[in-house]
């Protein structure tokens, strides 16, 4: 039990630090109030919408808002209870309909911890491994732990089709990628995909949580599969809206890096050799917070793991 507890504590600390590093650009300086969240109407980016869809920027990962016939589906809930409350207030300005469902694209704190301000009794949907990761976070406790009263109530393994308030959703999980519990939310009628942190345009490289069993190979597989969907608009976990062409460009670049790393591994090169050959920069001296490994580093470690 002592070893399990130690693992859980370490797991939560690492996950919390990584989430904090990704969201750091959105945090206010000391003494400043947090910047208000920014609500975007997705119709400005997608011409195929038949229902109101919004995405909310700031305060952590991007949040999706889908307004159905009788209620609202929210995708991801940001980092803090305060940001979660602001989501609720912003939705009230859009529609008087109640929030009935929340979908979690993965377990990182900057996507789930805003749940603490949401009403109790919601249907919370996630991939089954996301729930396990949230349970591990709660068991470890401490700063950044998932809100204990808001575990997913509806989980799936690889694929599920749902109709909620007249809106058709396809829930998809292809492989461990950003984490072991990634959820892709596809709205086929609206040709829109919410990718979670499979896509995070604020980072030059795919962000892969190896401590949550994320995978470089799984990232390539997942991104390849979402490009097969009949979609025009991709809402990333962080950053601006992407087109199919944008995602294709990102995938092509990462696949090229993967080929280079595989060739270097086949030549028996070390990690330092790979980093030098791939132009991986060293962390800035005196930098604060953890640095996410480059895709080349993660790919190398995965390819050479015994």
122-144 per-position pLDDT tens digit:
999 999 999 999 999 999 998 88
Confidence label for 49 from pLDDT (cuts 50, 70 and 90): confident
Confidence label for 4 from pLDDT (cuts 50, 70 and 90): very low
* 169 lies in some domain: yes
* 275 lies in some domain: no
* 302 lies in some domain: no
Rounded to an integer, the average pLDDT of 248-269 is: 97
* 58 lies in some domain: yes
* 294 lies in some domain: no
For residue 124, the domain's CATH number is 3.60.15.10
The yes-or-no verdict on residue 27 having pLDDT over 80 is: no
* 295 lies in some domain: no
Lowest mean pLDDT among 127-141, 171-185, 247-261, 292-306: 292-306
Residues above pLDDT 90, as percent of the chain? 77
* 281 lies in some domain: no
Rounded to an integer, the average pLDDT of 198-223 is: 95
The yes-or-no verdict on residue 14 having pLDDT over 70 is: no
Report the number of distinct structural domains present in the chain. 1
Q: Which residues pair with residue 196 across a beta bridge?
A: 236
Domain that holds residue 20: 2-245
What's the pLDDT score for residue 187?
Answer: 97
The yes-or-no verdict on residue 260 having pLDDT over 50 is: yes
* 287 lies in some domain: no
Q: What is the pLDDT of residues 93-102, one digit of tens each?
A: 999 999 999 9
Between 102 and 34, residue with greater pLDDT:
102
């Amino acid at each position: 039990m002592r070893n399990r507890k130690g693992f859980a504590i370490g797991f939560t600390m690492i996950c919390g630090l990584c989430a904090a590093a990704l969201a750091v650009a959105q945090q206010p300086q000391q003494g400043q109030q947090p910047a208000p969240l920014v609500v975007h109407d997705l119709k400005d980016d997608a011409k195929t919408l038949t229902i109101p869809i919004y995405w909310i920027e700031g305060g952590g990962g991007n949040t999706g808002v889908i307004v159905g016939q009788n209620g609202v589906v929210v995708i991801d809930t940001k980092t803090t209870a305060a940001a979660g409350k602001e989501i609720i207030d912003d939705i009230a300005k859009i529609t008087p309909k109640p929030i009935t469902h929340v979908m979690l694209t993965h377990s990182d704190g900057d996507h789930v911890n805003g749940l603490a301000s949401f009403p109790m009794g919601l249907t919370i949907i996630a991939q089954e491994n996301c729930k396990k990761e949230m349970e591990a976070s709660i068991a470890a406790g401490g700063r950044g732990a998932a809100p204990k009263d808001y575990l997913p109530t509806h989980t799936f393994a690889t694929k599920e089709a749902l109709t909620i308030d007249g809106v058709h959703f396809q829930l998809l999980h292809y492989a461990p990628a950003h984490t072991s519990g990634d959820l892709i939310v596809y709205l086929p009628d609206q040709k829109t995909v919410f990718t979670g942190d499979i896509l995070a345009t604020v980072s030059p490289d795919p962000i892969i949580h190896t401590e949550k069993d994320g995978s470089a190979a799984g990232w390539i597989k997942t991104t390849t599969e979402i490009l097969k969907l009949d979609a025009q608009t991709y809402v990333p976990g962080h950053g601006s809206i992407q087109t199919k062409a944008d995602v294709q460009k990102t995938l092509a670049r990462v696949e090229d890096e993967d080929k280079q790393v595989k060739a270097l591994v086949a030549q028996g090169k070390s990690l330092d050799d790979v980093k030098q050959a791939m132009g991986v920069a060293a962390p800035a001296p005196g930098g604060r917070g953890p640095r996410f490994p480059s895709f080349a580093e993660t790919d190398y470690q995965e390819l050479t793991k015994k």
